[in-house]
Amino acid sequence: MGENALRMYRIQEFAAKAGVTVRTLHHYDRIGLLKPRRTHARYRVYGDADLPRLRQILVFKFLGLSLSEIAAALKSGSRRTELLKNRRYAVKRDRHRLAIELQLLDELQDPAAATDWAELAAFTCEFGRNFVIPGSSTRSKLDEARRLIGERRMEWNATLRDYEMMADIRAAIGRGDTPDSPAGQALVARWRDAIERFAGGDAALRAALVLVMSERLKTPEPGGMAGFHEYLNRALQQAS
């Protein structure tokens, strides 16, 4: 038993035992994710004790975590919990997107159905804003921000006045009122109050709102949504 515990493997042997490539182990070594021991001749060697860590890395990689996220997850149990929550949120969101895509594909293949391309383009443009390219640098932060906002929405009790505010803002946009007009400033103040009640003094939640809003403002908005988000952005800027 003691002999097994001390058994060491050259990199080719360990790669075969773990079911990965030598190139993968080289890369993990370079970025500090899985550091081997070195012989006097500077050969990389691994032990059976390295297998559990490598298996965790492989599972986290399969689940879609980036290598930097995997490193964070291996260092901290609390961070691992947060990263896995974020990833679960992203997978559920992507599953929802795939269901919508399948439904849309079925509709477009129906020869008897009339296609309103303008409506579909507006819908797909707005719907696609909730998604970022897998593996992109913004994915992780946006996923975490959207998860925080989604969790807060589940427990937040909106008032009738909050729902009326949304209708009032749409009406103001229809009249051509901007956030700088007297009527627009009053609406911004109402939304600012709603944001402060929603965030409840939580700095992380408020930062999540700002991040999601800033991402949305990077691309053109369809229809009247540009004016709607202009009001929201102004309210976010003024919220304490």
Q: Which pLDDT tens digit goes with each residue over 86-101?
A: 888 888 888 888 888 8
pLDDT reported for residue 22: 96
Residue 1 pLDDT: 43
Per-residue three-class SS string for the chain: CHHHHCCEEEHHHHHHHHCCCHHHHHHHHHCCCCCCEECCCCCEEEEHHHHHHHHHHHHHHHCCCCHHHHHHHHHCHHHHHHHHHHHHHHHHHHHHHHHHHHHHHHHHCCCCCCCCHHHHHHHHHHHHCCCCCCCCCCHHHHHHHHHHHHHHHHHCCCCHHHHHHHHHHHHHHHHCCCCCCHHHHHHHHHHHHHHHHHHCCCHHHHHHHHHHHHHHCCCCCCCCHHHHHHHHHHHHHHCC
pTM, 2 dp: 0.61
Burial class (CB in 10 A: 0-12, 13-18, 19+), 208: buried
Model confidence pLDDT, tens digit, residues 183-223: 989 999 998 998 898 888 888 888 888 888 887 777 655 55
